[in-house]
Copies of this chain bind each other. A is one copy, B any other.
Amino acid sequence: MASHTLLFHPSNKTATVPTGALIVDALREAGLEVGQPCGGQGRCGRCAVVVESGTIRRRSTIRLSAADLEAGYALACQSVVEGDAAIFVPEQEQVERRLVTDRSVSKVAVPFPYDPVRDQTVRAFALDLEAPTLDDATDDLGRVERALALQGIRNPDVPLPLLRELGDRLRRGNWRVSAVVETDNWRQPDGPPRLIDLGPGRRDVPLERLLPEPPGDGPPGRLYGIAIDIGTTTVSVFLVDLQTGEALDTAAEYNGQIARGEDVISRIIFAGKNNGLGELTQQVRGTVNELLSRLTQRAHVDPLQIYKATVTGNTTMTHLFLGLPPASIRLAPYIPAVNRPLPLLAAEVGLNIHPRAAVDCLPGVASYVGADITAGVLASGMAESDALTMFIDVGTNGEMALGNRDWLVTCACSAGPAFEGAGVVCGMRATRGAIEEVWINSHSHEPTYRVIGGTAPRGVCGSGLIALTAELFITGVVDKGGKFKMDLGTPRLREGAHGPEYVVAWAAETAHGRDIVVTKVDIDNLMRAKAAIYAGFSVLAQSVGVNLGDVERLLIGGSFGKYINVEKAVQLGLLPDMPWDRFHFLGNTSVMGAYMALLSREARARVTAIAGKMTYIELSADNTFYDAFTSALFLPHTDLSRFPTVAALEGNGRNS
């Protein structure tokens, strides 16, 4: 195979790659890197480069405007090298590969101007106390209170365990100590501050690590916080420097509860078993602590320096994390124990950080519209915007919110596990070996697919199933009703053990030596899932008397948005048919919301206001949702006028 040399500007680095390689491969070869938040699927536009000269074939240009294309832009992840070329890599997208270590530290920039004195509720204060005398025999606590009052901290709560060490710490610190204080909390913005810790004094931690004294009169040492998003599938943690506000590093891991069920319903059922709740609580806390351990080791942070945590997640996950029985979430009328947990301490919830660290759970709205959605709405900024905005976070459930700065409505619809690759004959999670993208030749009906990790396929994940089904529909292999056209004359269509099926990969190609198929049942499951989501959009819009077409922005949060191919999701009738530029992929908005609430008192007030003003629409309350759902049980929809671009494809005769 021919090789080609690419020259990258402005670094003047070069790479030699074979024909058919992607520009992104050549960039890696040259030791350069571009951001790929969408996972290299041509959807985020973050890897845009400029082709200065040479032969490059643009496989997809979804995220590029006509003007971009005219200026020579190409998506590095979607552009195939077919000859030598010179490529300009815009500086803002360039990330210096960290050659010093083999670990990747993912910093996240502070999402807004951050001033810890103004914004932060957990702060450190240097106290220079006068030593007691017979003439000033104030008790130890009174002396600390007096010094704190001079810095505006009045009548702090002091926990008994700290009081027990107070005298020793004051005397060992020779009356010069640093106090870590929670100045106010979510529950009581005007309530008493809380003394979390006082250093020096811990015998087992070197003073300079607990709360390093500043060399001069500067502010005392470093304080850290963590933002935790507990997803049903994935737990994400940000480690944040509370002085600068920067997220120093992030980490994510499968929720340890997965072994006990893939979706919230199966977790709730498991929690009802003998000690099931305790086990699930331990598992998710274990996952968080494992991530914490990873982050603190990488950043050389003492876990005891972490004085604050914010937690978000769907209502079931929050309940399981807190050890609250979730049973009533599952049973009509679907009542959680609590939507807005009160402020807690780390020791109460088993987090391996400072035992008296403040732990604040973000507020949720209902059993199926949890803190992950309020956090997402916060992170999306839609509640501060005039634009009519739809926000959606799809996992096993689809939660959506519609509104603007003045009002918000929200609902949740059960999508089932199809989007996550579960409940599907050859389904699997989006891990190594999963077919994640499929193209079908509209004449031969033969598929081409991409596998996560580039290995032989083992199954089909959620995004793969969406792509596959959309392609099957667009290329006429299935009809509007989702039924296979068995008479197309391709050997890939056949009657299998589960009824009609389409063979995506023959046994010879697969990792396990068995055919990978999609069945009629799988497609029916997927259609019910997509119909539920689309019906949710419809009902939400209808509930406030607007048309889906009036929605100015459609914001997609969560991992679903991270991997989905919008074009195919629209072809399927999962997402509404609207101009590309109205879609925005926001990534994990839930953890971003937790991060914002970790940083800022104002963000906390905002998410509280969001939870307070969101009107929850219970879809099972009447027939509106059922009617909308039934109408959506077609590809793409009973009412084709809602999907003009798909209708145009059909008009092209690809499926009629």
Chain A 326-364, CB-CB to B under 8 Å as 1, else 0, gives: 011000111111111110100011000000000000000
- Please give the count of copies of this chain that the complex contains: 2
Per the bound structure, the CA–CA distance linking A322 and B161 in Å amounts to: 10
CA distance A403 to B555 in the complex (A): 72
Choose among B155, B168, B337 the residue that contacts A166 (Cβ–Cβ < 8 A): B337
In the complex, A324 has a CB within 8 A of chain B: yes
Q: Does A164 contact B325, Cβ atoms closer than 8 Å?
A: yes
Residue of B nearest to A157 (CB): B342
Is A187 touching B325 in the complex (CB atoms < 8 A)? no
Q: What residues on B are CB-neighbors of A188 within 8 Å?
A: 191-192
Q: How far is the CA of A171 from the CA of B188 in the complex (A)?
A: 29
Given A191-B188, A191-B191, the answer on whether A334 and B137 have CB atoms closer than 8 Å is yes
Asked if B167 and A327 make an inter-chain contact with CB atoms under 8 angstroms apart, the answer reads yes
B348 near A160 with CB under 8 A, answer yes
Interface residues on A, range: 35 or more
The answer, yes or no, to whether A163 is at the interface (CB within 8 Å) is yes
A618 close to B134 (CB less than 8 A) = yes
> Could you tell me if B337 and A139 are in contact, using CB atoms closer than 8 angstroms?
yes
Residues of B within 8 A of A166 (CB): 337-338
Nearest-Cβ distance from residue A322 to partner chain B, whole angstroms: 7
**8 Å CB contact of A333 from B134, B325, B339:** B134
Q: How far is the CB of A559 from chain B (nearest CB, A)?
A: 27
Q: Which of B164, B191, B336, B342 contacts A324 (CB 8 A)?
A: B164
List the B side residues contacting A101 at CB < 8 Å.
none
Q: What residue of chain B has the Cβ atom nearest to residue A323's Cβ? A: B164
- For the complex, what is the distance from the CA of A168 to the CA of B141, rounded to whole Å? 41
B160 near A333 with CB under 8 A, answer no
A616 touches B187 (CB 8 A): no
Please determine whether A187 and B621 come into contact, CB atoms closer than 8 angstroms. Answer: no
Q: Does A479 contact B (CB under 8 A)?
A: no
* CB pair A335 B141 closer than 8 Å: no
Q: Are B132 and A335 in contact (CB under 8 A)?
A: yes
Task: List which A618-640 residues lie within 8 A (CB) of chain B.
Answer: 618, 620-621
Quick check: is A140 within 8 A (CB to CB) of the other chain? yes
Do A333 and B163 touch (CB < 8 A)? Answer: no
Report if A137-B335 is in contact (Cβ < 8 Å); known contacts: A160-B348, A164-B324, A322-B160.
yes
- CB A326 to nearest CB in B, in angstroms, measures 9
Cβ of A96 under 8 Å from chain B = no
The yes or no answer to A258 lying at the interface (CB within 8 A) is no
A158 within 8 A of B: yes
A342 touches B164 (CB 8 A): no
Tell which of B187, B334, B344, B348 touches A155, judged by Cβ atoms closer than 8 Å.
B187
Residues of the B chain whose Cβ atoms lie less than 8 Å from the Cβ of A334: 134, 137
- Cβ contact within 8 Å between A158 and B342: yes
Contact digits for A296-320, partner B, Cβ 8 Å, 1 yes 0 no = 0000000000000000000000000
Question: Does A47 count as interface, using CB distance less than 8 angstroms?
Answer: no
Q: Is A135 an interface residue (CB 8 A)?
A: yes
Contacts of A444 in B (CB 8 A): none
Report the minimum CB–CB distance from A254 to chain B (whole Å). 26
* Cα–Cα distance between A106 and B168 once the two chains are bound (Å): 43
A167 touching B134 by the CB < 8 A rule? Answer: no
Report yes or no: B139 in contact with A335, Cβ–Cβ below 8 A: yes
Contacts of A164 in B (CB 8 A): 322-325, 337
- Say if the beta carbon of A133 comes within 8 Å of chain B: yes
- A140–B338 contact, CB under 8 A? yes
| Cross-interface CB contact of A338 among B132, B163, B335, B344, cutoff 8 Å | B163
Q: Which residues of B contact A141 (CB under 8 A)?
A: 337-340
What's the Cα separation between A164 and B349 when bound, in Å? Answer: 12
Complex contacts, A616 vs chain B, CB 8 Å:
137
Question: Which of chain B's residues has its CB closest to A166's CB?
Answer: B337
Beta-carbon nearest neighbor of A156 in chain B? B342
A87 at the interface (CB under 8 A from B): no
A644 within 8 A of B: no
In the assembled complex, the Cα of A480 lies from the Cα of B621 at a distance in Å of 97
Residue of B nearest to A622 (CB): B134
Is A78 close to B, CB under 8 A?
Answer: no
The reply to whether A338 and B621 contact each other, CB–CB distance below 8 Å, is: no
Q: How far is the CA of A153 from the CA of B246 in the complex (A)?
A: 40
Q: Are the CB atoms of B336 and A140 closer together than 8 Å?
A: yes
**A381: interface (CB < 8 Å):** no
B residues in contact with A167, CB < 8 Å: 324-325, 327-328, 335, 337
Bound CA span A159–B139, Å: 30
CB contact between A339 and one of B132, B139, B332 (< 8 Å): that residue: B139
Task: Give complex CA distance A214, B137 in Å.
Answer: 52
Given contacts A163-B322, A191-B188, A192-B188, contact A333 B133 (CB under 8 A): yes
Q: Which of B140, B327, B337, B620 contacts A328 (CB 8 A)?
A: B140
A75 proximal to B (CB < 8 A): no
Tell me if A142 counts as interface (CB < 8 A to partner B).
yes
A434: Cβ under 8 A from any B Cβ: no
A160 nearest in chain B by CB position: B348
Identify the interface centre among A133, A160, A341, A618: most chain B CB within 10 Å of its CB.
A160
Closest to A345 in B: B160
Report B-chain residues with C-beta under 8 Å of the C-beta of A168. 325
CB distance from A495 to the nearest CB of B (A): 43
A592 at the interface (CB under 8 A from B): no
Check if B338 sits within 8 Å of A135, measured CB to CB: no
Decide yes or no whether A463 CB sits under 8 A from chain B: no
Residue of B137, B160, B349 near A367 (CB, 8 A) is B137
List, sorted by A's number, 15 A–B pairs whose CB atoms are closer than 8 Å.
A137-B333, A137-B616, A139-B338, A139-B339, A140-B337, A157-B342, A158-B342, A163-B338, A163-B342, A164-B322, A166-B338, A167-B325, A167-B328, A171-B328, A191-B191
Known: A157-B342, A188-B192. 12 other contacts (CB 8 A): A134-B332, A139-B335, A139-B339, A140-B338, A141-B337, A141-B338, A141-B340, A163-B322, A163-B324, A164-B323, A167-B337, A191-B191
Give 4 nearest A-B pairs by CB, closest first. A141-B338, A139-B339, A134-B333, A132-B335
